[in-house]
Every structure is written in structure tokens, then in C-alpha cells.
Amino acid sequence: MIEFTKFSVSIIPVFVFLIALVILDSYKLVSLRSIFICIIAGLFSAIISLMFNSWLIGWLSLNVNDFSRFFAPAVEEILKSFYLVYLIRARRIGFAVDATIYGFAIGAGFALVENIYYLHALTSTNILLWILRGFGTAVMHGSTVAIMGMISNCLSNQKQSTKTFIFFPGLFTAVFIHMMFNLFFLPPLYNTIAILIVFPLMIVIVFSQSEKTTRNWLGLGMDADVELLEIIASGQVTTTNIGRFLNSLKSKFDEVVVADMLCYLRIYLELAVGAKGLLMMQNAGFIITPDLEIKSKLEELKYLEKSIGKTGKLAITPLLHSSDRDAWQLYLLGK
């Protein structure tokens, strides 16, 4: 009974926080399957971390306390960040709120393994210790990856880049917070209280800003996409700036390729408008059912992308007002 109580108070809080984040996300862009995969990624990062830390302690000939204060934070945050970096680079994350949920789920998986390990390694029956591990250490593990995800996602969208340097500020911030937590400048109880106050406040701010960003992107993006799509659908495209732009490409590309570019542009815009419409419906509480037509359009888009080639796609990029977030919406439709 004591073991079950220790396990419950040491791990349940972090998963309660995770569920709260999912509930607070009004657009519900993160699926339960994606969250489960992130938890699994966190489990694996914790297992690798435990093994690597054990080897590193022996190799550096350090005592456990010094290692946990100065080296473990960097090792653990780097390992926890791998899957999150992959998601951002693969354009699987659209907004900061999604990055927050993905990151916290990874941290929850990490905390689950770590606390199971300490349940066997520590023999203390002091319930306060396990409450502090659950509300403090476990939530800290989730918070640092979530913060890393928020910062990295924002920088990636601002700089329109997923190069390695984009992830350094978020990673350094996560390591710093983790290190400050492990240095125990405050008593463990105060550390835990600080985590429980600061992180929820940060989440409220991020969620509020993210929803505002989402609404702006949906509104402005929808208007621009619809306007461009109407021009193409009207059949008068040759008399517009778009038509003149495409006509200028005939000197550089074969006419068949230019025609494929126009088809690509039309399908891309149809999908973009559809994705934004789905988000609006989802936010309004409508149940979204799979659309087989979307799947066929995505397949046709891939075919046309190969047909026009990388150079052709680069040539029409100005017409797509493409960004990482616009690319993410195509992934959203394919889920």
C-alpha cells in the first residue's frame, strides 16, 4: 500500500497537468496518439539518460550530488529535446501551444521512468519526499521541455528556419531552469511551490498569445488564400499579375511545367483554405469527419511537386506566401 501511495503521489501530478493542457487547448490540434508517442519518446530518453549518466559519473569520477547539479541537467534536457526538435523540423507543430503540450508529454514520460527508478533506489517511506518529487521534480521535467518547445517554435516561425542554432536559446533556458532547480538555492518545498506558481502562469500567457496568433493567421491567411483562389478559378488569370508572373516563367520552364505550376498553386490553395476551415469548425465544437477527397488532393499535390521539381516550386513560392506554419497545415490535413 505504501509503495502504491508513493508511486501515485510521485507521478499522478505531472499527468494531471498534461490532461489540463490538452483540455485548455481550444483548437485541439494535438491528437491523443501524438501525445502517447511523445510520452514513449520521453520514456526512452529517460532510459538512455539513466544509462549514460551512470557511465559518465564513473568516467568523470564525480560524486552523485555534484553530477546531478552541474552535468545531469544538460544531459537530460538534450536527450528530452531530440524528439521535439524532430517534430519542429518536420513541421509537425504549428503553434506554441502545440509545442507546449508535446514538450510536457515528453517530460511526463521521462518523469515516469525516473520516479519508478527512484522508487526502487530510495527506501524512504516519507510521503513528503514523494509528494515533492511528484509536484516538483516531475512537473519540472515536463515544464523545461515545454518551455524549450515554446521558445524554439516561436523562433522557428519568426526566422522561417529550422537550423540547429534556432534550438539553442530554448535548450539553454531549459538547462538553466533544471540546473537552478537541482542546485537547491531554495528549500525543496519552496522549489516545488515556485514551479507550481510560475509554470501555470507562463502557460496561461502562452495559451492566450497562441490563440490570438492562431486567430490572426486564420483570418488574414484565409482572406489571402480565397482571393488568390477566386482569381485562378475565374479563368482570367492571364490578365492578372499572377498570370503575367507565370507567363514570365515560360522563358525558364517548359509550358507543360508552367501548367503544372498553376495546377499545383490551385490545389495548394484549396487545401490551405480547407485546413483553415477545419480549424475554425473544430474551434467551434463541430466534429470533423475524414474527407477522402482531401487525401486524393494531397496525393495529386505530391505528384505535381515532383513534376515541377524543386526549382519550379521555388519559383512559385512568392505566390504561396509559404511559411513553416502554412506547410504544417498540409500535415494537419493528412492526419
Which pLDDT does position 226 carry in this prediction?
65
Decide if 229 is inside a domain.
no
Q: Is the pLDDT of residue 260 over 70?
A: yes
Is the four-CA dihedral 298, 300, 303, 307 of positive or negative sign? negative
Number of independent structural domains in the chain: 2
Decide if 312 is inside a domain.
yes
Decide if 219 is inside a domain.
no
Are 169 and 93 part of one and the same domain? yes
Are 147 and 259 part of one and the same domain? no
Decide if 217 is inside a domain.
no
Task: Kindly report the pTM of this predicted structure.
Answer: 0.73
Q: Which of 211, 245, 279 is the last residue of a domain?
A: 211
Are 56 and 98 part of one and the same domain? yes
Distances (CA, A) of 80 to 6, 110, 161, 305: 25, 8, 21, 34
Are 85 and 39 part of one and the same domain? yes
Mean per-residue pLDDT for 3-30? 78
| 110 band by pLDDT with thresholds 50, 70 and 90 | very high
Q: How far apart are the C-alpha atoms of 203 and 183, rounded to whole Å?
A: 24
Are 26 and 171 part of one and the same domain? yes
Decide if 225 is inside a domain.
no
Are 52 and 168 part of one and the same domain? yes
Decide if 135 is inside a domain.
yes
Decide if 226 is inside a domain.
no
- What is the tens place of the pLDDT at every residue in 81-95? 999 999 999 888 877
Which pLDDT does position 40 carry in this prediction?
97
Are 187 and 246 part of one and the same domain? no
- What is the tens place of the pLDDT at every residue in 49-83? 999 999 999 898 888 888 888 899 999 999 999 99
- What is the tens place of the pLDDT at every residue in 308-333? 887 777 777 766 655 555 666 666 66
Are 191 and 254 part of one and the same domain? no
Q: How far apart are the C-alpha atoms of 94 and 299, rounded to whole Å?
A: 22
Are 190 and 242 part of one and the same domain? no
Are 22 and 63 part of one and the same domain? yes
- Among 83, 178, 185, 179, smallest CA distance to 138 is for 178
User: Residue 239: which domain range?
Assistant: 234-334
Encoded amino acid at 86, one letter: Y
Are 50 and 184 part of one and the same domain? yes
Decide if 275 is inside a domain.
yes
Are 55 and 102 part of one and the same domain? yes
